[in-house]
Amino acid sequence: MPATAAIPAQRSLTYEDWRPPIVGVALLVPVGADSLAVADLRGMLMLPVGDVRIGHPLEEAAQQVLASREGLPLLRRVAVDRVQTRRRKVITHVLASAPMTRAAVDGLAYRDPRADVRVMSTLQFIDEVWPKARLRILVGLQALATGETVCIENGVVRAGIPVELMP
């Protein structure tokens, strides 16, 4: 009986371009000097998020995440978070709005009817949010304060990236 050959070790394959990336937007909506508008989905706190369909501008996708009578006063993109998962790349554009009042936030409706939009202290929100989302929020707030646009690539922050070079 012949000896069995050793099974060769499988190579680690990258799935970089295997499937199209998932592209989304997250909204950073400051309320006053020390609070944020957050989405509360049955106790799970998060930044308001939505998807970007092919061919749609980021601003249009952001307006569909939080509906209001006057429209969301968007300022600019403050961060891009790119994560390579095993099978797909996930790209999240963080857009910031102009500071809003609590009364204006009360008029906002989240795209998911199961979630409520509420105002929460920034420090409390950062403490309670999912740890992987914490970096995106902190970097987005810092970029909003400094006027920069930041790229987060698999958890590594790179500042000063020209917007034209970002995906």
pTM of the model: 0.81
* Domain boundaries of the chain, sorted by first residue: 22-156
Cα–Cα nearest to 51, from 71, 26, 88, 84: 26
Judge: domain 22-156, CATH 3.90.79.10. Answer: yes
pLDDT in tens, 60-81: 999 889 887 777 888 899 999 9
CA 129 to each of CA 122, 125, 126, 138: distance values in angstroms, whole numbers, following the listed order: 10, 6, 5, 11
Q: In the chain, where does DSSP find H-type helix?
A: 58-65, 102-106, 122-128, 131-146
CA distance 77 to 132: 20
Residue 69: count other Cβ atoms within 10 Å of its Cβ.
8
Tell me whether strands 66-67 and 156-159 are parallel, antiparallel or unpaired.
unpaired
The 10s digit of each residue's pLDDT in 117-135 is 999 999 999 999 988 889 9
